[in-house]
Chains A and B, each alone.
Chain A
Amino acid sequence: MSLLSVRGIHKHFGGLHALKGVSFELEEGETVALIGPNGAGKTTLFNLISCEDRPDDGEIVLDGQRIDGLPAHLAAARGLARTFQNGRVFGNLTVLENVLLGAHTRLEDLTGSGSRPGEGVLTALREIAWSIIQPRRFRRMEAELTEEVRDILSFFGDRLLPRLHQPAYSLSYANRRRTELARALALRPRVLLLDEPTAGMNPTETDEMSEVILQLQRRGQSMLLIEHKLELVMAVAHRVVALDAGEVIVSGTPETVRSDSRLIEAYVGKKQDGVAAASAGAVLEPSLQA
């Protein structure tokens, strides 16, 4: 059984049919890249998988349990962690606090709200009491997590470690994106959802991020990745799912998807006008081949 299955997802926004029956699978330890032109529905799909929004039809199954329609904070507790397309760090929190916050769901015996009615109130009272009293066990847990945060940040060399106590708003754009990824890793996700992790990064920074993703892959991290830089996709993805106008147009290994004519059509248009499409194809080809 797959780790994550997306089955027949539909989503409408007013009159727009944004997703038209999208299905794909993600296996344990696999990296799947979602590609497609702007407006294809990639981020919409991400929002549905991370339960930020709910699908109109279809189901999303994580570890054999349906998660679609869950509140987003419970999806996080099931082991889904995401980064955001535009980078959403907590600006006035330090790098350390940002990443510690990623581990919030792991403090479950503190923060879990239980499932029986009324349990939420009791657990909330307990959480208040403990955070005021701060028993030894509690402080040890924080200390261990802080150590772990240093480990996670060492992934990025000395990009973030020296800035541990700086507020996130003072970081460079690339460092904010790294902080975001570190925060997602602190959740110890079953599935890591990366929405354009290298958007706005220069080539060196992109290569570094690519290296980080490969390292995560070697550790067995399952990942779903949205990315426009096909070079990166080719380097890290086990499989590629190409979306256009809310539909999966082609999926398979990077090699097969890269040479599929439907993908080229999706990016540059149909071959109605032989000359225009041919020249457009010639323009796109080097970037696909790269």
Chain B
Amino acid sequence: MIGNLYMLTAIGITQIYGVAGVVNFAHGSVYMAGAYIGWMAITWLHWPLVPVILLVLAGSALLGLALERLAVRPFARAGSTILLLTTIAAGLIIDNAAQVIWGPQTQALPNPLPQWHIRLGAGTVSLLDLFILACGVGTALLLHLFLYRSRAGWAVRATAQDRDAALQMGIDVNRVNRYSFALSGAFAGLSGLLVGLYFSNIYPTMGASATLKGTTAALLGGLGNVPGAILGAYVLGIAETFSVEWLGSSYRNLVAVLLLIAVLLFRPNGLLSGRRALNPEPTAGTFIPHGRPLRFPRWLIPASAVLAAALPLFVANPYALQVLAIGWVFALMAVSLNLISGTTGQISLGHAGFVTLGAYATAILTSRLGLPFSVSLLVSPVVAAVIGVLLCYPALRLRGQYLAIATLGLGEAISLIALNWDSVTQGPLGISGIQPAAFFGYEIWSAAGVYWLDLAALLACVWAVYRLSRSHLGRALRAVREDEVAARAFGIGLARYKSIAFGVSAFFAAVAGVLLAHSYSYIAPDTFTFALSIQVLTMIILGGRDNVGGAVIGAVILIVLPETIRFLGEYRYILYGLLLIGMLRFRPYGLLNSTT
């Protein structure tokens, strides 16, 4: 039965991929919005089911249109990896807007259908089950007829093959895209409503798992392949059902994520297609346009470091110091991610995974094994970097969107393993009572102390990464970003250099994790999530790619701004989403880079 539910989202995702060439990460958000529109119509207006469905279809089609107009069309030429980011940003905005509008709590969604059950062998099938099945099969059939039997569908397929050629042949590409997004939005909204009815409740973050499951199913079937998506949905549904049976319900998401990673690694074109022909992807290097760091006077960097270090002497307000200290830790994450995404051009959406690894490593080493903080500060990041590289290594040959989705999956997998590996991580309870940072018995607990510790870690990281990026190694990593084939022809082993980038990056991200674990004194599987990965990515896009100073500035702006302007605090993630889209649209090379 769960397969039917996945089928609904998988079809929408695969359809958009077929047309726009992007895995639409806002799909789940439209799905969630559809569920809420239906919920309002049922519980507030007491409408009967048929008009409710029509309203949901119309409302979510409109949302799909808005998505196409604001987050997709302006970036049509920017490449699929940018589109992936803009749809993620759009999803972030919709999800958080829903929280603001409808509140973060779960809402009950009564089922207006009669509670008939049909006995079928050992089990029973409810009317709702049949209705969901009918909707799934119906939409798939309609879509198939539309794509392969109508003129408009022909245009859609031509556009998917070659946008420019289609434009030359007189196809209104934008109109085709509008249709597709409206259609897929309508399906998404309807499936959100049906799933809400099925589980009798809805909540603002329900879209995230729908996107992940839908993407997995669509990938299993081969992106762009509608019958494949249906197959993929059932494969995923069956795999999950069996894993719940054998391992317990907490493994459900882990199995889905592992399936996602496995299919990306072994059959990136899906179960139905041959193995070799990977879809042509633009090299990752083109993911953010040209830009070079703005030049600043040489003394500015040491001067600002000294100023930052002297700040606690003048500022007595512990709150301000705490906020800035958090800013330094995020800058540490941004500088480390910049090495992967800015310098080496490999987009990673799983940076939170490295932070989680570092935090858990130190929690276990200091709380369980009694290692002092000063030792753990060095050992934990090494442990995290080793595990991180081992996990990422098989995915490093993927490119562009595929790599992005694989890293997203790996990031999720790390927190899901933490959730399920009770004996080591204490599962969902997390590990609490982590000692504050201490050196040689002196505990660092004052705001100023933590501030200095975090700043020192950041400066060490900035120094190391800056030196590295100015050496032959930085040159080699940039060559990988610019042109993998040419880099390899000049002796640069891609696996080696990408591993180096991921390893160094994981090390410093884990340092950030260690610092945060000791200042929060508590770590749980959901402390560092996908939203954090996106937040850090936004920081480097704000500051400018391949620009160490830019990463620091981007991080400080994004942390300090929502804290100082109270009004922004509530809308923090909406702000991140808007900034991400806005920067990619109007200044894609970042604040501290210039075009030439």
List residues of chain A with CB under 8 Å of any chain B CB.
Answer: 50, 52, 71-74, 76-77, 81-82, 84, 88-93, 97, 100-102, 104-105, 107, 110-111, 113, 120, 124, 127-128, 130-134, 138, 142, 167, 169-170, 183, 187
Contacts and interface: CB of A to CB of B under 8 A. Distances in A.
B290 A128 contact: no
A169 B290 contact: yes
B117 interface: no
A110 B478 CA distance: 18
Given A97-B478, A128-B500, A128-B504, A88 B486 contact: yes
Contact of B472 (A52, A84, A142): A142
B490 A81 contact: yes
Closest 3 CB pairs of A and B: A105-B491, A131-B471, A76-B491
B496 A183 contact: no
Contact of A76 (B292, B474, B476, B490): B490
A92 B285 CA distance: 10
Contact of B483 (A88, A100, A104): A88
B547 to A, nearest CB: 12
Contacts of B499: 124
A101 B483 contact: no
Contacts of A113: 493, 496
Interface residues of B, number: 33
Contacts of A107: 472
B390 to A, nearest CB: 11
Contacts of A74: 491, 493
A167 B491 contact: no
A169 B473 CA distance: 21
B465 to A, nearest CB: 9
B475 interface: yes
Contacts of A91: 290, 482-483
Given A101-B476, A104-B491, 14 more contacts: A73-B494, A90-B478, A90-B482, A93-B475, A101-B475, A101-B479, A105-B490, A113-B496, A120-B496, A128-B504, A132-B471, A134-B467, A134-B471, A167-B292
| Most chain B CB atoms below 10 A, which of A73, A107, A187 | A73
12 contacts: A76-B490, A88-B485, A92-B290, A93-B478, A100-B475, A101-B487, A104-B491, A124-B496, A124-B500, A128-B500, A132-B467, A134-B467
B488 interface: yes
Interface of B: 285, 290, 292, 464, 467-468, 471-476, 478-479, 481-483, 485-494, 496, 499-500, 503-504, 596
Given A77-B491, A113-B496, A167-B292, A128 B473 contact: yes
Instruction: Output the residue of A52, A124, A134, A138 with the most chain B CB within 10 A.
Output: A124
Contacts of A71: 488, 493
Given A71-B493, A76-B491, A93-B479, A131 B474 contact: yes
A49 to B, nearest CB: 11
Contact of A73 (B285, B292, B488, B504): B488
Contacts of B467: 131-134
Contacts of A72: 488-489
B417 to A, nearest CB: 23
Nearest to B480: A90
A72 B596 CA distance: 32
Nearest to A100: B475
Contacts of A88: 483, 485-486
A131 B473 contact: yes
Nearest to A104: B491
B470 to A, nearest CB: 8
Contacts of B290: 91-92, 167, 169
Contacts of B292: 92, 167
A101 B490 contact: yes
B338 to A, nearest CB: 15
A68 to B, nearest CB: 15
Contacts of B285: 92
Given A52-B485, A92-B482, A113-B496, A104 B472 contact: yes
A112 B454 CA distance: 36
B397 to A, nearest CB: 12
Contacts of B504: 128
A110 B483 CA distance: 22
B271 to A, nearest CB: 21
Contact of A170 (B475, B490, B492, B596): B596
A113 B481 CA distance: 21
B485 A90 contact: no
A73 B485 contact: no
Given A92-B290, A127-B473, A132 B496 contact: no
B367 to A, nearest CB: 29
Contact of A90 (B468, B486, B494): B486
A138 to B, nearest CB: 8
Nearest to A106: B491
A165 to B, nearest CB: 11
Given A101-B479, A169-B290, A82 B489 contact: yes
Nearest to A113: B496
Nearest to A50: B489
B503 to A, nearest CB: 8
Contact of A97 (B468, B473, B475, B496): B475
Nearest to B465: A132
B491 A73 contact: yes
Nearest to B277: A14
Nearest to B386: A121
A182 B486 CA distance: 14
A100 B472 contact: yes
A187 B472 CA distance: 14
A115 to B, nearest CB: 13
A90 B473 contact: no
A11 B6 CA distance: 43
Nearest to B473: A131
Contacts of A92: 285, 290, 292, 478, 481-482
Nearest to A78: B491
A84 B486 CA distance: 8
A54 to B, nearest CB: 13
Contacts of B500: 124, 127-128
A117 B218 CA distance: 38
A76 B489 contact: yes
A61 B57 CA distance: 65
A270 B491 CA distance: 44
B479 A90 contact: yes
B488 to A, nearest CB: 4
Nearest to B472: A107
Nearest to B467: A132
Nearest to A193: B489
Contacts of A101: 475-476, 479, 487, 490, 492
Given A90-B482, A104-B472, A128-B504, A187 B490 contact: yes
Nearest to A139: B471
Q: In this complex, which of A72, A105, A170 has the most chain B Cβ atoms within 10 angstroms of its Cβ?
A: A72
A132 B466 CA distance: 8
Nearest to A73: B493
Nearest to A187: B490
A84 to B, nearest CB: 7
A133 B472 CA distance: 12
A60 to B, nearest CB: 15
B464 A132 contact: yes
Given A50-B489, A82-B489, A132-B467, A93 B476 contact: no
